[in-house]
Chain A
Amino acid sequence: MKLRLSTILTAFILLASAAAVAQQAAAPSLKLPAYKKIKLKNGMTIMLVERHTVPLIGFNALLKAGSVADAPGKEGTASITASMLRKGTKKRTADQFAQELDFIGGQFSAGATADSTSLSSQFVKKDINQGLDLFADALLNPSFPAEEFTKLQKQRLDGLKSAKDQAQAVIGNYFNAFLFAGHPYSRPTEGDEKSVAGITRDDVTKFYQTYYTPGNMILTVAGDFSTPEMEKLLTEKFQAWPAKTSPAVTVPVPTPFTGKKLLLVDKPDSTQTYYRIGNVGIARTNPDRVYLQVVNTLFGGRFTSMINTELRIKTGLTYGAGSSFDRRRQPGPFFISTYTKNASTTEAIDKTLEVLKQLHEKGVTEEQLKSAKAYIKGQFPPSVETGSQLAGLLTELEFYGLDEREINDLYARIDAMTLADAQRVIKQYYPMDNLVLVLIGKKAEIGEAVKKYATKMETLEITDPGFGASIPAASGAK
């Protein structure tokens, strides 16, 4: 399969629409289906939404602690804890869990992001009792067998080597480390070679005991069931989980970088340079989020975006280019991302900076605004088509303190946006002079040429452990 859009670009589009808000061009509005929200006595939040298209039931649980809660120097703990949940419980060995899950064609995955840990599962309707038992067993009863921990830790260490063999798999880690230097968002969710090697089974057990509490848990179940029956099943399963206080995970507000700074990671076999350019973006709950979704659709969020038009459609410099706001509890990264052959590295970066400048100088037109609004509304419904999608969306909204209005009012909020709103958010949120640049490429061929983008160029070898956390912060003030 040779997709016309790069996977990266596609990911931007998904991010832009799925994480955001909804509506539909032709339909007057798109409403979320009715759902029921309950709170168990132990503090656990549960939401239920029926979807009867196919005989499947999806589970989506979110724990209000992610890699930001990792102890310093132990980056990767939240992520490894999530992966260990199915690797042995009080009732089942890891093998038994795998055999039972696969036998009913079920799916189970668990992983961490900076802000939270997510568990998701899906089962065929007829197997719901066994499916729920497996899901709850992993969540409530993990035993973290030492042998399984060691096995996973070794896999993770080699997984880091494997990831560094592919620039696209790690450029986000380097970019976040360089941009957020010193802030918790600088830390790699999966950890690095040193931190993963230092994590012990005790660290994992402690993370579980500290943060996996009912009060920290939001569970949404969506699919082919009747709400009263499912409510009964879930209450029986989870109400005995003892309530427990858990330290709140706090994240300081990150400070945008002032000036320009540049990191080149040398990967000597590169025929293309991969790069990200950006600064600190916005939080999930930023009041201007809908306006920015519209503007970023035009700037770097779809095939005909300004960035992709300049770097792909008009010049053929790359297979795909885009931009994204990674919206988190606190402002996450904003970045433009693309790649081009070694010889055209500065041509592409120059053009990227030029498009950003044009956005500031010329803004967007009424016609562009209309197009982006129609596009977002036309593309939103397929992101809330299945039970699993609905479960993920409702859980996410609840975690960020949002609710169904985020979807049900979206149409109106987009329609109410004016050209003046667009011009304002461009000035306010898109960086222009203050930029962090991270490149992975062949230093021998591009090193000299790219030095011009900052007063100092930091360099790393791709084989150096970590992602550059040790580079001194604040080296690029004007």
Chain B
Amino acid sequence: MKTHNVRRCVGLILCSCVLMLSATAQNFDVKTHTLKNGMKVLVQEDHTIPNVALYIFYRIGSRNERPGTTGISHFFEHMMFNGAKKYGPGEFDRTMEAAGGSNNAYTSRDVTVYQDWFPRSALDLIFDLEADRIENLGFDPKIIASERGVVASERRSSVDASNFGILFEQLYATAFSAHPYQWPVVGWMVDIDNWTMDDLKHHFEMGYSPSNATMVVVGDITAEEIFQRAEKTLEPIPSHAPPPKITTAEPAQVGERRVTVSKFAQLPIVMMAWHVPEAASPDFYALNLLETILLDGQSSRLYQRVVDKDQLAIGIGGGFGATLDPTLFTITAQPKAGIEPQKVENAVYEELERARKSAVSDAELEKARNIVLANFYRQMSTINGRANTLGTYEVFFGDYHKLFTAVDNYNKVTKEDLQRVAQKYFADKNRTVATLVPEKEEAPKQ
């Protein structure tokens, strides 16, 4: 099991898109239309396969929550599949699957995203289903009780049953003391058990205004037919005020923070994190290239040093993603049996110090640019990848056109910029370290 590529996809995908635009601009024709209620619709036609990927991004996530209702954005994401007015409980999935479609959704600290994948023959149905749940979602207490069990099981899987999950949660809870990024997207178990019907309704009213959403449609359709359907089914839905602005900013960290998780395990884990800026920051591009040099591939600096040369860990991975507020750059390694996590930490710190002290080579910078470009092509090779990327750019960079200006931003990044961001962000005082310490809890013998 290699961990050295986990968790970096978001950041990588984003920065990759940026570079490639010049190369593919000619067949990357995005049409947009803003409905009268404020919902923006982006469409890109692609007739390679007779299918469509439709994404709706709502600008609401766990950053919009408060203590006591943590995880409610994610829980609400589940409730969006549990019945509305025209399509009752179970009908959303049943109807969509019978028409050849499938769906999913994800919630992050910043957004809640709904995804539909379907043959073009199901287009009318999909708009009908989406409009129904945005306008007339049902709140059945029995279904809510059952869905609490589902989400609790999801939490047990992603946290209790994953040592990486447990530790990652503690890392964020320790690194952030003021900003809402401190609590887990899935929510604390006690909150999953306790939020109320009123909390749910309040969340819907806060986050699910059409003006707070962006729709992206890519595939075997025309822009006109999408705009027509959006005007007919979604435009009549009234808008209301968006979620309140998040005013809390995380104060600058003034010294290293450390946290330990002790539990039954065979191998330890160590996670290190540094506060880094949001996607809209001009440092985003330099940090992304630095991330690639440090962590991408078996030739990366940290893999070479920690896994290959010093043989301290079985894998190393990390990076940072595109976020609305300042986030964490994380590095995760699983030490080999008998290796003290501190030894892994020290090797990582030495490599970061090297990036702070001297500039990377020209070849490394060129390699990072090549990797970013190749990854961009991979992301663009499916209608699904394009829908997700366009929406992510629109939401996190404020405008999908930023794809185009970002090309310049990327090309402007110099070796000196990489050294500057390494010095600025990879400082000891800005660091939080979480360590999982194995305990040999004896299982009862028969």
A binds B: yes
Among A2-10, A60-68, A212-220, A425-433, the stretch in contact with B: A2-10
A122 interface residue per 8 A CB criterion? yes
Most chain B CB atoms below 10 A, which of A167, A317, A319, A387: A319
Question: Which chain B positions have C-beta within 8 A of A98?
Answer: 297-299, 304
Is the pair A95, B378 in contact by a Cβ cutoff of 8 Å?
no
State the Cβ distance, B66 to closest chain A Cβ, in Å. 19
Partner of B444, one of A1, A304, A444: A444
Q: Is A261 an interface residue (CB 8 A)?
A: no
Q: Are A2 and B186 in contact (CB under 8 A)?
A: yes
Contacting residues, chain A, for B148 (C-beta < 8 A): 316
Cβ A268 vs Cβ B441 within 8 A: yes
Picked from A27, A163, A164, A378, the residue with its CB within 8 Å of the CB of B101 is: A378
The main secondary structure of chain A at its interface with chain B is: mixed
The verdict on A270 contacting chain B, using a C-beta distance below 8 Å, is yes
Which residues on the B side are within 8 Å of A423 (C-beta)?
none
CA distance A122 to B145 in the complex (A): 47
Contact with A along B351-389 (1 / 0, CB 8 A): 000000000000100110011111101101111100000
Closest to B50 in A: A27
* B299 contacts A95, C-beta separation under 8 Å: yes
Residue of A2, A102, A274, A387 near B106 (CB, 8 A) is: A2
A53 touching B161, Cβ below 8 Å: no
B266, A165: Cβ atoms closer than 8 Å? yes
Contact A272 B100 (CB under 8 A): no
User: In this assembly, does B409 line the interface, its C-beta being within 8 Å of a C-beta of chain A?
Assistant: no
In the bound complex, what is the Cα–Cα distance between A6 and B370 (angstroms)?
A: 33
Which A residues lie within 8 Å of B78 (CB)? Answer: 4
Tell me whether B161 and A270 are in contact (CB under 8 A). Answer: yes
Q: Are A303 and B297 in contact (CB under 8 A)?
A: no
- Interface size (B, Cβ < 8 Å)? 90
* B93 within 8 A of partner (CB): yes
B interface footprint on A135-164 (CB within 8 Å = 1, 0 otherwise): 000000000000000010011011101111
Interface residues of A in 255-274 (CB under 8 A from B): 266-272, 274
Q: Which among A2, A27, A122, A384 has the highest number of chain B CB atoms within 10 Å?
A: A2
B337 touches A379 (CB 8 A): no
Q: How far is the CA of A463 from the CA of B441 in the complex (A)?
A: 11
B98 A374 Cβ-Cβ under 8 A = yes
On chain B, the residues within 8 Å of A172 by CB distance are: none
A314 within 8 A of B: yes
Given contacts A166-B162, A378-B101, contact A101 B299 (CB under 8 A): yes
Q: Please state if B441 and A269 are interface contacts (CB–CB under 8 Å).
A: yes
User: Does chain B have a CB within 8 A of A105?
Assistant: yes
Q: Which residues of chain B are near A167, meaning CB under 8 Å?
A: 161
Verify A319–B314 contact, CB threshold 8 A.
no
B64-114 residues at the A interface, CB under 8 angstroms? 74, 77-78, 81, 90, 93-94, 97-108
Report if A24-B104 is in contact (Cβ < 8 Å); known contacts: A54-B381, A101-B297: no
A26-B50, A94-B298, A385-B382 given. 5 additional CB < 8 A pairs?
Answer: A105-B373, A268-B442, A304-B97, A317-B153, A385-B49
Of the A-B pairs whose beta carbons lie under 8 Å apart in the complex, a sample of 16, sorted by A's number, is A4-B105, A102-B300, A104-B370, A122-B378, A155-B314, A162-B334, A267-B443, A270-B161, A271-B156, A271-B160, A316-B149, A371-B98, A374-B99, A378-B102, A443-B444, A461-B443
